[in-house]
Structure 1
Amino acid sequence: MSLSGKAALAGVIGWPISHSRSPRLHGFWLKAYGIDGAYLPLAVAPEKLESAVLGLRDAGFRGLNVTIPHKEAVMALCDQVDETARRIGAVNTLVFDGEAIHGSNSDAFGFIENLKEAVPSHDFTTAPGLLLGAGGAAKAVAVALLDAGLPELLICNRSPERAERLAADLGTRAKPLAWARRAEALAGVGLLVNSTSLGMTGHPPLDLVLDRLPAGALVTDLVYTPLETGLLAAARARGCVTVDGLGMLLHQARPGFQAWFGVAPAVTAALRDFVLGDFVPGGDG
């Protein structure tokens, strides 16, 4: 599709950026909806972050997605940051409004929308959940689950200090748990989430015996390379409902696309297939 001189422009900034599937994802929507616009991958070194963001704003871009390592640093450039992004402590979406820069975080939205689409009948309010990991993605997941009414969230991380800090940031319904107790903690949970890189292609497997996990629990893995991780395969064999992590990537892109291009996009089977068609292990965003 050829672009006019009035084409709407957006993109994703990161360092590096060649792994990102966001251009393929947004490109699919731009073509599907016949929009005069483009979405570009932009490699921005950390020391060039401010000049790049302000330069792209001044050049007429509608906004940007932000991926590693810029999600925290970019907050200082925002004139406004929404409440969810403040709680997570990171911004992944910028919208330019004249000279004003609005920052938000759609990772929590993408996570919960993926689960709701896959398992619309799941009630988050009836049982505790266990979250493996305490990094940036884990905090977005935790915020999403607590906002959905989860009564208690156990946070289990290989570095206990990070789990303790995350739990302290989230309030009384979040509790840290020693990594060695991860298997015994499965008894009675209604939801298990892996937000670590364990099980990802090129990384060590996730060592977790699921014998105590209730057969009716919902299990999801933020890893999507491979699409069915060892955790998901084991949970499915146990009779659990499983949800892969690709949908989080797809759904988190929706708010930015709507803000920049004026269309509320749909996550479809065709989109999943298209994004998977350019699958590069180890990518983010």
Structure 2
Amino acid sequence: MSEGLAFSVFTELPAYTAAVAELPVSAALAENAHGAVAVVPGAGDWWQGMLAARAGGAAAVVLADPAVLPLGAIDLKQWPGDVPVIVERPRIRPDLVAAAVAARRGTPARIITVECAAPAAGLGALICDGFGWMRSLAGGAVAFQSSIATVHSRIALLHAGDSQGGTVPATLSATAIGGPHAGGLLQVLALGEVRTEVTVDQPAGLARVETVTEEGSLRAPERYESSARLALRRAFDACLADGPATDLAELLHDMELTRALLDA
């Protein structure tokens, strides 16, 4: 922490440097991770980056847009619970998830479908976020049942449990498309008495949540705050909170499902 400011932030990522500049009262850039919120890039072996931040004395870690790591790359015994981890997942922003869940007003989904399309190199991360949306809208953990694989696509059959012990049938389909810079498209439908439609179009810079009820259609307001700035604010809150952040556990759950589908 920096004297006169709430938190110091150690980062080399331009998006986070800009986010710190947008939070002049609550944040300032730091020269190292000691006592700071350390931002770890999600490309490559980010687990080792997190361990390095911990060894450097980081007060908290922000994991920025993580890739899906191979099985066995993570050993949770190496991570202490007193160092909170906030995961920035731009395609499944917590504020959009909260808006989508609140708009359903407690009405359960009867079936959930997720469609992902991206270049092969980025398909894993998109699938992982698709599972995250599925879990969030179902209100409970997602369990893998079976899968179908072709050369360019994967289809998973799953069920998701709500907090009352019920289950929701779900499917996820993923297709590899285009070249390495084609971007990705994620669409989620939660169907029932209330319909929730989520569209994340990376090339267009679009993230939309729409809810349809018997009273009409409601679209969540557009978010102007950057994903990086939101992640920093959540990291500051996590440093002050009594309970542990759930981001890492949720990411690893979604990643386990992703690996099961990709390796099928």
Bin of the TM-score, shorter chain as denominator length: 0.3 to 0.5
Q: Give the number of the structure whose residues are more often strand, by fraction.
A: 2
TM-score by length of 2: 0.48
Q: Give the number of the structure whose residues are more often helix, by fraction.
A: 1
